[in-house]
Amino acid sequence: MKPNAIPEKDIRQPVVAGSFYTANPEALAQEIKGYFNNVPDGHIISEKPIGLIAPHAGYLYSGQVAAFAYKQIVGRHYETIMILAPSHRAYFPGASVDTKKGYRTPLGIVPVAHEIVNQIIGKTSLITHYPQAHIQEHSLEVQLPFLQTVLKDFKLIPIVMGDQAIETCEAVARLLSDVIKTHDILIVASSDLSHYHPQNMAQDLDQKVIDRINAFDPHGLAFDIKLHKTEACGGGPIITALLIGKHLRANKAKVVKYANSGDVSGDYSGVVGYAAGVIYKEEKKDAKKTEKKAVGVDLGLNEKEKELLYRIVKETIKNHLEGKPTPTFQVDSSTLQEPRGAFVSLHKEGMLRGCIGHIRADHPLHENIKDMAIAAAFEDPRFPPLSRKEFDKIDIEISVLTPFEKITDINAIEVGKHGLYMVKGFYSGLLLPQVATEYGWDRVTFLEHTCNKAGLSKDAWKEKDTEIYLFSADVF
């Protein structure tokens, strides 16, 4: 059905035109064009975006930041746009898909992609139609004039999230990814950042969100929000968009612009933060290198010893799920009897599902691995405990650690070989060698993210009272 043929009763009318943005079509088009003209070409990602992150405040405050996101798709084509937006006026579990046939703005009517909407609704109790979620919600509406300016012709999947827990985000992301994987769809996550804090505090809170986005770390972002280490009123949409991106083989996310309301009003006593981000797939520059780059070091474990460690992890988790005692294993290898620190990492469908380690070499390696198997599966605070139905989908990765070495010269750090452990006062954080390789970080970026993992500012590694340790690992 063409937009103009949609009955008025089936069209969602604008509710913030004239307040969040002008209701005058000509003035609105001119205003958005002006925002785009102020975006330097150097801020444009060359790859076609899979997703965008854009703010949803009044255009006076956040319009320029939003333009940094939407200029990424100038000259691109998408059949459909899926907008994930937070609910400001109604609380409900899961997410709600609007069943209206069109959305009106001063720039015209955007038709809803009803064929896809019908595939989504009813697939799970977490995605339903909850009318109150859409009637007065502005966070989805304000994205439309930018999209209408850039794309002209597209259909809409309007989704408002009422529950932003990581379990909800994961379930919604899995379902949506399965439905849209064969369509030409752009995901847009609508979110502002921290609200009404003084400038310095706001920037610190917002930087944590930015760092998690840049690290393509949805679970880390969910963890930080849950523990009130940071704020984002559209945290659930951001997390869900990042998870969908991973399902659709995106491997990069980048914040291309950050600002706050004080940059417009001049009042920095209580500001609202805004960020523009892009989710995309970065093609490898050397297409011939198809094998995964080796990380860490070889500690001399033979295949039989590695197979036993895998079996210890798998059978320990399986017994725990079945309510059976922890199994005992015959370990004849002197290598596996050596005290070693170790990590156990679990992945499901290519995404982290749990990772816990013990860094002190105070227990035999095989005992440490058994304990970390339980911890990674059931005690990682970023994830719910592993369920029985997930067990067969789990991939196991083991990292056997070398002793830690305190350094004063960062040039000693070799990305791909070394992991980092950062300590300052009561704060500490560790990243394994494979993390820097996976994200393509250089030495300084690796240091900055280790600081962030420790709950420190990204430049804390430069401070005299910060202790930096390096180590390596046999990763298999």
Q: Which amino acid is at 187?
A: I
Closest CA to 73 of 56, 58, 51: 51
Which structure tokens are listed for 323? 């309510």
Which value, in Å, is the radius of gyration of the alpha carbons in the chain?
24
CB 276 within 8 A of CB 40: no
Asked if the model's pLDDT at residue 294 lies above 70, the reply is: no
Helix boundaries (H) for 39-155: 59-70, 114-120, 132-135, 138-141, 144-151
- State the pLDDT confidence band at 1, using cuts at 50, 70 and 90: low
Which stretch of 346-350, 390-394, 423-427 has the lowest confidence by average pLDDT? 346-350
pLDDT digits (tens, 9 = 90+) for 139-151: 999 999 999 999 9
Q: Higher confidence at residue 295 or residue 273?
A: 273
Q: Is pLDDT above 60 for 291?
A: no
| Model pLDDT for residues 86-101, shown as the tens digit of each residue | 999 998 999 999 999 9
pLDDT (average), residues 440-463: 90
Stretch 123-147: mean pLDDT: 94
Q: Which two tokens stand for residue 435?
A: 């993390």
> Would you give the distance in Å from CA 351 to the centre of its chain?
11
Residue 10: CA atoms inside 13 Å, Cβ hemisphere, count? 14
Beta pairing partners, 105: 108
**List of domains in the chain:** 3-280 (3.40.830.10), 303-475 (3.30.1490.150)
**pTM for the structure as a whole:** 0.67
287 pLDDT more than 50 = no
Residue 308, token pair as written in the block: 């036993």
Closest to 363 in 3D by CA, of 331, 409, 320 = 331
What residues does 12 pair with on adjacent strands? 103
* Of 277 and 438, the one with more pLDDT: 277
The answer for residues whose C-beta is within 8 angstroms of residue 424's C-beta and 6 or more apart is 454, 456, 460, 463, 465, 466, 467
Asked whether residue 319 carries a pLDDT value surpassing 80, the answer given is yes
Condensed to tens digits (0 to 9), the pLDDT of residues 57-81 reads: 999 999 999 999 999 999 999 999 9
Judged against a pLDDT cut of 60, whether residue 290 lies above it is answered with: no
Q: Which two tokens stand for residue 297?
A: 């070091």
Element (H, E) at 373: helix 365-378
Once rounded to an integer, what is the mean pLDDT over residues 167-194? 93
Please state, in angstroms and rounded to a whole number, the distance separating the CA atoms of residues 10 and 109: 11
Give the per-residue pLDDT at 351: 72
How confident is the model at residue 284, as a pLDDT? 63
Specify the 3-state DSSP secondary structure of 465: coil
- Segment of 209-218, 232-241, 428-437, 445-454 carrying the highest mean pLDDT: 232-241
Secondary structure E strands in 148-303: 155-161, 185-190, 195-197, 252-260, 271-280
- The backbone torsions φ and ψ at residue 139, rounded to the nearest 5 degrees and listed phi first, read -65, -25
Is the torsion defined by CA of 440, 446, 448, 450 positive or negative?
positive
Average per-residue pLDDT in the chain?
A: 92
Beta strands in 87-211 (DSSP E): 95-97, 102-105, 108-111, 127-128, 155-161, 185-190, 195-197
- Going from the C-alpha of 22 to that of each of 36, 192, 404, the distances in angstroms are 17, 20, 59
134 in Cβ contact with 211 (< 8 Å): no
pLDDT given at position 312: 95
Average pLDDT over residues 50-55: 98
Strand partners, 361: none
Tokens of 147: 């999209």
What pLDDT shows up at residue 173? Answer: 93
User: Are the C-beta atoms of residues 160 and 127 closer than 8 Å to each other?
Assistant: no
Beta-carbon count within 10 A of 325 CB: 7
Whether residue 2 contacts residue 102, with contact meaning beta carbons closer than 8 Å, is answered with no
- Give the residue from 83, 16, 53 showing the smallest Cα distance to 242: 53
- pLDDT band at 167, cuts 50/70/90? confident
Let me know how many helices (H) and strands (E) the chain has, helices first: 16, 20
pLDDT of residue 285: 53
pLDDT at residue 293 is higher than 70: no
* Residue 295 pLDDT grade (very low, low, confident, very high; cuts 50, 70, 90): confident
Q: Which of 60-64, 225-229, 326-330 has the highest mean pLDDT?
A: 60-64
* 351 bridge partner residues: 348
